[in-house]
Amino acid sequence: MTVMIYHNSDCDTSRSVLKIIRDAGIEPAIIDYMATPPSHEEMLALLLAMDMAPRQLLRTMESTYLSLKLDDQSKTDRQIIDALLAHPELIQRPIVVTEKGVKLCRPKTKVLDLL
């Protein structure tokens, strides 16, 4: 099985999900999205596969969220996606991609549905 994880090594949940994947005997492709954020097209594909609006992927507790006024409901999906890509710390994590689907794995046990 091919597994890809959009991973942030500073995040406890992301590290836990990576461990669950490895404990299942799978070595995933790891994308350090903080260093290499997805392209606009990749982000659109991930959101579509997860059936999520861009706003649902925002980390609202980040200071960047408030400084960019992303709580303003008049911000368009395009503006939210642009903010996510310019400031990857705003992206909820981890996102896991397998043949079984794509999920934001919060809580970490959501990854089990994909393995």
Evaluate whether 99 touches 5 at the Cβ level (below 8 Å): no
C-alpha distances (whole Å) from 30 to each of 9, 14, 80 are 10, 11, 24
3-class secondary structure, 38: coil
Active-site hit among 8, 10, 11, 20: 11
105 catalytic? Reply is no
- Beta bridge pairs of residue 70: none
What is the set of active-site residues? 11
